[in-house]
Amino acid sequence: MKLPKFEGKAFLAPMSGITDPAFRLLCRQNGASLVVTELTNVHAIVQKEKELKKEHKKITEFVEFSTKESPVGIQLFGNDIEKTIQAAKIVEPYFDVIDFNMGCPATHITRQMAGAALLQKPDFNEKLFSKLVKAVNKPVTLKMRTGVSNNNCYLYKNIAKIAQDCGVQMLTLHGRTVDQGYSGQADWNKIKELKEISTVPVVGNGDIDSPEKAKEMMDKTGCDYVMIGRAARGNPQIFDNINTYLKNKTYTFDPQKKINSLFKYLEYTKLYNIKFSNIKMQAMQFTKGMEGGAQLRLDLGQTENIKEIKKIFEEIDVDKQNKP
């Protein structure tokens, strides 16, 4: 099956602990043209499905989502080909895209030879992608870092060729190695080099924090889409702002819209099983750039329920806020 038709150029990056179903829906409604779940362990999906089946429940109790998010991708990670296929088959009825993670730098994941560590395993990748693409009826995509260390920061090129030859339909590149973590700057030149060798759409990712930067990445690299992670936290409006800026070279940030978005997020969380600590953290992100933000975060730290979070934001003087 082909990729869905995307309405715009800006996607929401998968972010563990952040891209819960309520936040994804909010970003879709604010102009993100694709949203993706956080990375999800293939063993956990297979195991949970067995358990849920016994209770006549579906996997969507574990990987929560809403059809209103569509197009929505699920991101899988693991290092076991058969389990990845099993997991992909379990979730494919609910998602528009099956994304595979080869970008996670966390040591507890790379130590198991999963996440970005798999960039060093071309043979594994060839087997995985050739089988996975045939096994599912949804488009398979891949998200990568450039390499593991500075010595092998071009690993992504070989993996990209293997993946696209096997039928992977879109490639996302975060322009950093595993060793870099989040330090320094993402190397957009590598995104440009990927675009030059790629036969499928390329999604550029890393350090876009404004509509101007999104356009700059597209102009410099020729990438087909951009993916926004950290800058979307607390500012889902960035997607609409990017869409408008790409069309009209201008946009307006609306502080009231930002607060209203948080209220919507709080409402949506009631439909899902999201930990209150995560909701609180998400709310704190909305105080970024706000006048009196440090005090607001201290106040939010003391909250015990959604009502208390809402009250804090209701009392904010919107006229004093002007930054995303």
Ligand X SMILES: Cc1cc2nc3c(=O)[nH]c(=O)nc-3n(C[C@H](O)[C@H](O)[C@H](O)COP(=O)(O)O)c2cc1C
18 touching ligand X, by CB under 6 A: yes
228 touching ligand X, by CB under 6 A: yes
Nearer of residues 205 and 316 to ligand X, judged by Cβ = 205
DSSP string, 199-264: SS-EEEES---SHHHHHHHHHHH--SEEEE-GGGTT-TTHHHHHHHHHHHS-----HHHHHHHHHH
**Looking at 162-170, 201-209, 293-301, 303-311, which segment touches ligand X (CB under 6 A)?**
201-209
DSSP string, 153-208: TTHHHHHHHHHHHTT--EEEEES--TTTTT-S---HHHHHHHHHH-SS-EEEES--
* DSSP bridge pairs for 74: 98
Q: Which of 9, 143, 190, 192 binds ligand X (CB under 6 A)?
A: 143
Residues in contact with ligand X, shown as a per-residue x/- string from 50 to 89 under the rule CB under 6 A = -------------------------x--------------
Q: Residue 230 CB, nearest distance to ligand X (Å)?
A: 3
Q: Which of 207, 262, 265, 274 binds ligand X (CB under 6 A)?
A: 207
Active site residues: 104
191 touching ligand X, by CB under 6 A: no
DSSP string, 102-140: E----HHHHTTT-GGGGGG-HHHHHHHHHHHHHH-SS-E
The answer to whether residues 324 and 238 touch, using CB atoms and an 8 Å cutoff, is: yes
Residue closest to 265 by CA, chosen among 283, 248, 281, 291: 283
24 touching ligand X, by CB under 6 A: no
Residues in contact with ligand X, shown as a per-residue x/- string from 271 to 310 under the rule CB under 6 A = ----------------------------------------
Q: Residue 5 CB, nearest distance to ligand X (Å)?
A: 23
Binding site for ligand X (CB under 6 A): 13-18, 38-39, 75, 101, 103-104, 143, 174, 205-208, 228-231
